[in-house]
Amino acid sequence: MQTILQRIGQTIPVLLGISLIVFLLMHLTPGDPVETMLAGVGHVSEADIAAMRHELGLDRPLVEQYLSFLMGLLKGDWGTSIRSQAPVRELIMERLPATIELTLAAIFVSLLISIPAGVLSAVRRYSFVDKLSTLGALVGVSMPDFWLGLVLILVFSVGLGWLPGGVRLAFDMVAPPAVTGFLLIDSLLAWNWSAFWGALRHLALPAIALGAPMAALTMRVTRSSMLEVVRQDYITFAKAKGLAEWAVVGKHALRNALIPTITVVALNMGVLLGGNMIIERIFSWPGLGQLVVDSIRTYDYPVVQMAVLLYALTYVAMNLLADLMYIRLNPRVRV
Amino acid sequence: MIEGERALPPGASHDKALRVLRRVQANFREFWRLYSKNRLAVVGAVIVVGFILMAVLAPQVAPHDPVRPDFLAIRRPPGWMDGGSWRHPLGTDHLGRDILSRIIYGSRISLVVGFIVVFLATSVGVVLGLVSGYYGGNIDAFIQRVIDTILAFPYLILATALVAVMGPGIRNMLLALVYKEWVYPCRVVRGDVLVAKEREYVEAAKAVGAGRFHIMFNEILPNVLASTTVVSTLRVAWVILMEASLSFLGMGVEPPTPAWGTMINEGRRFINTDWWISAFPGLAILLTVLAINLVGEGLRDALDPRLRE
Amino acid sequence: MRRGVLGLVAFLILSLSAVGFAGDKTLVIGFDDDLITLDPADFSHRQTEAMLRQVFEGVSTYTPDREIVMELAESIEEVDSTTYEIKVRQGVEFHDGSPLTAKDVAFSINRLIQDGAMAGRTSQRRGLLGPTKEAVVVDDYTVHVKLANPWPLFPRFIPWQMIVPRSVGDDYITKPIGTGPFVFEEWVRDSHFSVTRNDRYWGRKPKVDRVVFRVIGDESARVSALRSGEIDIATFAPVHEIPSLKRDPQIDVVSVMGTRSYFLEMNVNKPPFNDIRVRQAMNYAIDIDTAINVLYEGQATRIPFILSPQAFAYHDGLNKYEYDPQKAKELLAEAGYPKGFSFELDVVDTHRARAEIYQAMLSVVGIQAKIRTWPTWGAARDAWMQAKGRPVDEQRDAFLNDWGNASLDPFDIFIPKFHSDASGLGRGNFTGYSNGEVDELLEATLTSASDSKREAAFIAAQEIVHGQVPMVFEFVAHEIYGVNRRILNWRPSPDSRIHINLLGVDLK
């Protein structure tokens, strides 16, 4: 229990550090952040600049600004986008479901590839399959995800015409009413099969492009933890009892090897979240990643700040979760 | 090998130098014996050396000027395709520039960024890692929380935001990547130091009254270099991927300097019609990064058997 | 296994019978950019205009042939040199059922010109109304527009403004209610903007039931969507896709000369560009015709100055610089740069390729252009404006720029680019060009009542500015549209507006 509290306690300075970096991002800009921010807006007068400076609180001391930034965060006041004048919270919330849907699909794809491959190479250690999947994993981590995305579009969309190479739904299709924002769920709720099928097809290529590097990472972990588990006594015992090899693997080994695999997925959330930026751009996916890139390019700092904050918090939460899971499963561990 | 890398004391005799040289040779032979067991690692090393030579000798190797447009050869397909010619083996881009030559020159950016960023990051990371691991206590806690904080930002997002804030250019790109990259060697070194601290040789050095700095840099550092080398090599591969991603997002070096990520980004417009503009630079990235990863794995096998699964 | 197959069959049957597709006559247009706002007074952005114009109307409007026709006005007459009378059409209703009267028209015009009229914000479109001072209601269907000084361009610029109901009050418009042939349905940011047929429209009723503007920023994706039949019109199709689009029996490729002029601006106050010979050398060293072929496969028209050949007061007697690198070298030598020089060329990221071509051309005569890319036009503009007040050696060198001129009147391109007052009339003057005579000629065109006098002044001013070569003058690019053959009667408009009801667009 104390370990758990200690672990949670460690996140507090990290959270403060994150908020400080996010806050300072705007102040790192050489020159005047307000003028830079207003650059894309059009006709700007001195009065507009002064008003904006005041609105952003830039006329106050830095410490005071930081504190009010923190207070704003706690109160749920996320500011207003400079580019679109819309509340940042609204912009992010609009984009969030698309990104979560894609990320979950990518995790699904990566587990779909990595678990069978990892199990197979552990059970048939040093076989051809093992070597092939080890090399495959190495290629997977060495491949630029944006290039993989382009190649997938080139082959399956431009070349073969099997799968769509962008956006969430065909342009001539009416999206089901947005209840959850997740197209797959919304189309099921609306009993709209063609939308469901369309959304699924649109999800395929980006999910593969985003999930492949992750699959490469998790495959190795599945393999090595399977090896460890397979070596353990109870497995040998089960085998000795005469249980078929696959039954042993399926029932005992896999169950125990899954935990490290899932932990690795959680710990590598950063790879997925960072990959989102690129993959969403290539597949014109209307998610948070594209919003961040666009906002960075147009110096829309209020949006950048909140989106980056959200990414960092997700990462911290996933890490905490993975650690807590680990502590729970191995009570002897001291962090 | 590791000990051989330590500089000789100023007053060392000729004999001693010779002895050290022999030991280096012997160590190297041992190292190569272990390394070459992994045949893929040897292939990787050959490819990496090939790319380095290509980068250094770019003006001699490249068949064309990589930045000069040829307005009479716009978007020509690769040599083996209809309409292509072997004058441009991998075809030309939207301005008629030879893709092969641009890939050859582009290796300069990737390798320079990869190695310089990792070198700088490792220098910072090793020192902070030593301090963090050796001193422990509040200093350690502070450095570790800073690392946790930096780790919380997805790599590419932090780098993109920093480049956007600082402006484009290779110097800013290097800085943006180092900001995040130092934490990885730092963590590895710290872990090794924690182990090394308990070893006899450190106790022995303490017993004879050696100072902290002496112990950290002369006793512990040589013993953590092996794992640092392995980790740093693998990090080079990652940094090259990140450089390509930044260039792909238009946050890389300024035109017309060819960079692989930039080439893919420019070729993306032509994906429906002229696939080769973006396909080949991607292959170059894949090959380089894969080769460096293979070398990293080979080094791990040879230098640091502990790190094997 | 058997269950799997059955499930799949059931699934396929369900998908075929589902009603996921839009109604019968839905026109889907693939757009390169999203709307910025739903408020018709708060943008300066062609895509926003094209979409909002389906819902809102002006007192008058431009046709694709650039003729002015009355829309919500029955007539617009000059009462005296500073007053125009608008007779408002009777029997028109807004989409919320309220009748259109003179009060709405006057309200809409005043909303554009008054400070802070939109919940504290001031309209960005005010500049398009020149010296317009106030709109007053005379009777239920008559409005008088007062001008601060004579401005004969009023009838030509009022078509760019849209009429909103006065019930808007001080608010910012977030739900568009207009009088147009289509009623606003929904806007999903970065996805689509859709409108449906207005069955109570005062004029000819639309032939299509619904129009969806799809935001597809990626040009390859836009063309792919056109090929697969998901969209009916793809705007701004890239030239390199034209050959394959033309091979497609379902698709027509149509183009129209755009209204955006391209040029390379040189800071005429900063060495070496303060020497006219250097600026001439730049013009001789850059081969515009080749650039047009490489970048646009010929789909652009070279211009000798910044005005489009279609623009009012276009001067067709000005010479275009023929590509002559030898002459450029001679001029550079005369100016004291026999080995050339190096300078920094600012460019917006999307125009990288153009910059790289010119860079290569300039290097032939020894001029080294160092390209500095900016993520957005605004960022580059800002860098120029900030540097302007500083000593000349800290100012920027050159900007590979462009300027839209949807009105095709020199009023909103020539004056902002070359009037010397950079904080006022010359709001787009980046070159630092300043010439008292030109200022006078340009100011005279603002108040002159006769077309011939305005034309003469613009022609005279063009000759002076052209002679001093503050820019490398480039071209006007054509806008290319891919259109599905099932679309009837549609054709593009030079101002990038999408006319649907005006042209009687229908689906086969």
Determine the pLDDT at residue A301. 81
- pLDDT of C21 over the 60 cut: no
Determine the pLDDT at residue C57. 96
Query: Would you place residue C335 in the very low, low, confident or very high pLDDT band (cuts 50, 70, 90)?
Result: very high
Average pLDDT over residues B163-186: 89
ipTM for this model: 0.84
Quick count: other Cβ atoms within 10 Å of Cβ C126?
16
Cα distances (Å, whole numbers) of residue B24 to A216, B4, B165, B171: 37, 5, 47, 36
Query: Would you place residue A243 in the very low, low, confident or very high pLDDT band (cuts 50, 70, 90)?
Result: low
Determine the pLDDT at residue B4. 35
Cα separation, A327 vs C117, in Å, equals 61
Which element (helix H / strand E) includes C481? strand C471-484
Quick count: other Cβ atoms within 10 Å of Cβ B133?
25
- pLDDT of B1 over the 50 cut: no
Average pLDDT over residues B155-176: 87
Determine the pLDDT at residue C303. 95
Taking CA C188 as the corner, what is the angle to CA C187 and CA C194, rounded to the nearest 5 degrees? 40
Query: Would you place residue C11 in the very low, low, confident or very high pLDDT band (cuts 50, 70, 90)?
Result: very low
Closest chain C C-alpha to A106 CA, distance in angstroms = 22
- Best probe of the C interface among A54, A152, A172, by most C CBs < 10 A, is A172
Beta strands of C216-337 (E only): which ranges? 233-234, 251-266, 300-302
Quick count: other Cβ atoms within 10 Å of Cβ C253?
17
Query: Would you place residue C161 in the very low, low, confident or very high pLDDT band (cuts 50, 70, 90)?
Result: very high
Q: Is C207 on the interface with B (CB under 8 A)?
A: no
Q: Which of C51, A118, A224, C242 is nearest to B309 (CA)?
A: A224
Contact at CB, A144 and B237, closer than 8 angstroms: no
C237 forms bridges with which residues in the sheet?
Answer: none
Cα separation, B142 vs B130, in Å, equals 14
C341-361 pLDDT, tens digit each: 999 999 998 898 999 999 999
State how beta strands C210-215 and C26-31 pair.
parallel
- Whether the CB-CB separation of C213 and C31 falls below 8 Å is answered with yes
Query: Would you place residue A31 in the very low, low, confident or very high pLDDT band (cuts 50, 70, 90)?
Result: low
- pLDDT of B188 over the 70 cut: yes
User: Which chain A residue's Cα is nearest to B153?
Assistant: A312
C356 contacts in B (CB within 8 Å)? 67, 69, 95, 255-256
- Whether the CB-CB separation of C38 and C173 falls below 8 Å is answered with yes
The residue ranking higher by pLDDT, C23 or A14, is A14
Identify the DSSP state of C235.
S
B213-223 pLDDT, tens digit each: 888 888 888 88
Query: Would you place residue C19 in the very low, low, confident or very high pLDDT band (cuts 50, 70, 90)?
Result: very low
Determine the pLDDT at residue A266. 81
Query: Would you place residue A207 in the very low, low, confident or very high pLDDT band (cuts 50, 70, 90)?
Result: very high
Task: Name the residue type at position A13.
Answer: P
Considering only CB atoms, B68 lies closest to which of C238, C244, C360, namely C360
Identify the DSSP state of C392.
G
Average pLDDT over residues A139-165: 90
A172 contacts in C (CB within 8 Å)? 21-22, 26, 28, 229-231
- pLDDT of C53 over the 90 cut: yes
Determine the pLDDT at residue A40. 44
Identify the DSSP state of A251.
I
Determine the pLDDT at residue A34. 66
pTM for the model: 0.86
Beta strands of B206-303 (E only): which ranges? none
- Whether the CB-CB separation of B112 and B236 falls below 8 Å is answered with no
Average pLDDT over residues B161-179: 88
Quick count: other Cβ atoms within 10 Å of Cβ C89?
20
Q: Which two tokens stand for residue B105?
A: 């020159």
Contact at CB, C373 and B272, closer than 8 angstroms: no
Task: Name the residue type at position C112.
Answer: L
Cα separation, C203 vs C181, in Å, equals 8
A277-307 pLDDT, tens digit each: 889 988 888 899 989 988 888 778 888 888 9
Closest chain A C-alpha to C284 CA, distance in angstroms = 33
Gyration radius (Cα) of chain B, Å: 23
Query: Would you place residue C468 in the very low, low, confident or very high pLDDT band (cuts 50, 70, 90)?
Result: very high
Query: Would you place residue B308 in the very low, low, confident or very high pLDDT band (cuts 50, 70, 90)?
Result: very low
What CA dihedral angle connects B244, B248, B251 and B256, to 10 degrees? 90
B148 contacts in A (CB within 8 Å)? 10-11, 14, 17
Burial of C325 (0-12, 13-18, 19+ CB in 10 A): middle
- pLDDT of A72 over the 80 cut: yes
Contact at CB, A308 and B157, closer than 8 angstroms: yes
Cα separation, C205 vs C208, in Å, equals 9
Closest chain A C-alpha to B157 CA, distance in angstroms = 6
Identify the DSSP state of C45.
-
Q: What is the mean pLDDT of chain A?
A: 81
Determine the pLDDT at residue A44. 53
- Percent of chain C clearing pLDDT 70 (strictly above): 95
Query: Would you place residue C17 in the very low, low, confident or very high pLDDT band (cuts 50, 70, 90)?
Result: very low
Q: Please report where in the chains the tokens 């330590």 appear, as a residue.
A: B6
By mean pLDDT, which of A56-65, A97-106, C159-168, C365-374 is the weakest? A56-65
Determine the pLDDT at residue A334. 42
Contacts with A, C 447-486, CB within 8 Å: none
Average pLDDT over residues A136-157: 91
Cα separation, B114 vs B293, in Å, equals 13
State how beta strands C210-215 and C192-197 pair.
antiparallel
C375 contacts in B (CB within 8 Å)? 164, 250
Average pLDDT over residues B158-181: 88
For the ranges B155-164, C259-268, C426-435, the one whose mean pLDDT is highest: C259-268
